[in-house]
């Protein structure tokens, strides 16, 4: 166990290792690493997920989010480390574990040769769910995801949002104890995203444990009790979103546009207040750690500025920087 990368309360338990999980923990990952040749995609990460939690993985491209998830799912072989899912060590007991997991992969992998209902029924058959139960479950899920009137439709005729909902429905066919969602609303319009969030919230309220990756900060903030921020294969921060934002970013953010001289002057003035500043070419970000509204009059005559609560995106940028990550 690497104490510097694992801040979860369970991490300090001194039980014999491995196995060191209490049976109720859904995911226990310790010192997981993956090398592709020389490149280290996942660099000794440890984390745990308790029942009923929704943990969000955040990170720029190439941070190791999808690699970690694919290792958990047995699609990529780990180089080092131990993994326990639902109390069983994987990959050794993978077949037993996967029966209790639902997965929405990043790529749409619905079966385009089958209709909407057949997609669910065929998947149910892969799980050896008895036919009558499968039919009942299929109806329930079609109803839950508002797909009842598309039952016989071929996949090609579904909208992006309908496909994603069907992927989610399919992931739930085996009544999973753990739901793994790799970018569940990528590429969808706001209406479609909200419908999916609403359904995921219902599932969370029912106690489903979730592991979620996303590039959408609002999605993670909305759904997750806890976020893990990954960068270059390491966990750089983890905790409850609001707590992390307050601790690492601050309370509020002022975004100010202006010329160099104007921003220079403001930088000086704002040093009277407990705040950290970030200066870009023609923009100043002020992250306040106390109520700085007394300085707001300084901005009154600026061309454009805004004051808003600090959010997850600020935290994300703070931890992982502003430069593009393109591999």
Partner 1 sequence: MKILRFTKVWLRNYRVWRKNIMATLVGNLGQPFLFLIAMGYGMGRDIESINGLSYLQFIAPGLVASSVMYSAAFETTYGSYTRLSLQKTYEAILMTPLTITDLVLGEIAWGASKGLFSALIMVAALPLFGVWPSPWAIGLIPLLLVSGIFFAALGLIMTALATNYEFFNYFISLIITPLFLFSGIFFPLDSLAPPVQSAFLLLPLPPVVDLSRMLTYGRFEGPLLLKILIPLLSSLITVWLAKVLIERRLIK
To the nearest whole angstrom, how small is the minimum distance from the Cβ of residue 222 to partner 1?
25
**Smallest Cα–Cα separation from 139: which of 169, 178, 162, 168?**
169
d(CA 33, CA 81) in angstroms, rounded, equals: 6
**Smallest Cα–Cα separation from 134: which of 112, 152, 117?**
117
Contacts of 93-101 with CB under 8 Å at 24 or more apart are: 98/73, 98/74, 99/127, 99/174, 100/174, 100/176, 100/177, 100/178, 101/73, 101/176, 101/177, 101/178, 101/179, 101/180
Work out the number of other CB atoms within 10 angstroms of the CB of residue 213.
25
State which residue, 180 or 249, has the beta carbon closest to partner 1.
180
According to CB under 8 A, which one of 75, 146, 240, 280 is a site residue for partner 1?
Answer: 75
To the nearest whole angstrom, how small is the minimum distance from the Cβ of residue 124 to partner 1?
9
Q: What is the DSSP string of 112-150?
A: TTSBHHHHHHHHHHHTT--HHHHHHHHHHHHHHTT-GGG
According to CB under 8 A, which one of 13, 24, 125, 291 is a site residue for partner 1?
Answer: 125
Rule CB under 8 A: which of 235-274 touch partner 1?
A: none
Residue 40 near partner 1 by CB under 8 A:
no
Residue 157 near partner 1 by CB under 8 A:
no
According to CB under 8 A, which one of 3, 38, 107, 324 is a site residue for partner 1?
Answer: 107
State which residue, 179 or 236, has the beta carbon closest to partner 1.
179
Contacts of 196 (CB under 8 A, 6+ apart): 161, 164, 165, 168, 184, 185, 188
Residue 77 near partner 1 by CB under 8 A:
yes
State which residue, 51 or 112, has the beta carbon closest to partner 1.
112
d(CA 86, CA 28) in angstroms, rounded, equals: 9
Residue 110 near partner 1 by CB under 8 A:
yes
Binding mask 161-190 for partner 1 (x = CB under 8 A): -------------x----------------
Kindly calculate the radius of gyration of the chain based on its CA atoms and give it in whole angstroms. 23
* Span interacting with partner 1, options 53-61, 70-78, 257-265, 291-299, rule CB under 8 A: 70-78
State which residue, 172 or 286, has the beta carbon closest to partner 1.
172
State which residue, 73 or 310, has the beta carbon closest to partner 1.
73
Instruction: Give residues in contact with partner 1 (CB under 8 A).
Output: 36, 70, 73-77, 95, 98-99, 101, 103, 105, 107-114, 118, 122-123, 125-128, 174
């Amino acid at each position: 166990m690497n104490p510097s990368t694992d801040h979860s309360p369970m991490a300090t338990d001194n039980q014999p290792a491995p196995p060191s999980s209490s049976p109720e923990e859904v995911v226990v990952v310790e010192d997981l690493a993956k090398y592709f040749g020389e490149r280290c995609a996942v660099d000794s990460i440890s984390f745990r997920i308790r029942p009923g939690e929704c943990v969000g993985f955040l990170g720029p491209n190439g941070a190791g989010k999808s690699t970690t998830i694919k290792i958990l799912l047995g699609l990529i072989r780990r180089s080092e480390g131990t993994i326990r899912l639902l109390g069983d060590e994987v990959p050794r007991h993978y077949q037993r574990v996967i029966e209790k997991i639902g997965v929405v992969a990043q790529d749409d992998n619905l079966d385009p040769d089958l209709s909407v209902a057949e997609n669910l029924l065929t998947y149910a058959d892969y799980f050896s769910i008895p036919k009558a139960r499968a039919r009942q479950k299929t109806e329930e899920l079609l109803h839950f995801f508002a797909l009842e009137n598309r039952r016989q439709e071929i996949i090609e005729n579904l909208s992006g949002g309908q496909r994603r909902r069907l992927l989610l429905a399919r992931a739930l066919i085996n009544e999973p104890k753990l739901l793994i969602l790799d970018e569940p609303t990528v590429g969808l319009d706001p209406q479609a995203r909200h419908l999916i969030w609403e359904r995921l919230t219902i599932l969370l309220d029912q106690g489903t444990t979730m592991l979620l990756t996303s590039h959408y900060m609002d999605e993670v903030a909305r759904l997750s009790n806890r976020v893990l921020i990954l960068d270059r294969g390491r966990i750089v921060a983890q905790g409850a979103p609001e707590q992390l934002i307050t601790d690492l970013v601050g309370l509020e953010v002022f975004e100010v546009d202006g010329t160099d001289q104007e921003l220079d002057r403001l930088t000086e003035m704002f040093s009277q207040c407990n705040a950290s500043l970030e200066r870009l070419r023609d923009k100043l970000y002020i992250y306040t750690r106390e109520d700085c509204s007394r300085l707001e009059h300084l901005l009154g005559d600026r061309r454009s500025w805004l004051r808003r609560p600090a959010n997850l995106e600020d935290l994300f940028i703070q931890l992982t920087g502003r430069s593009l990550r393109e591999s």
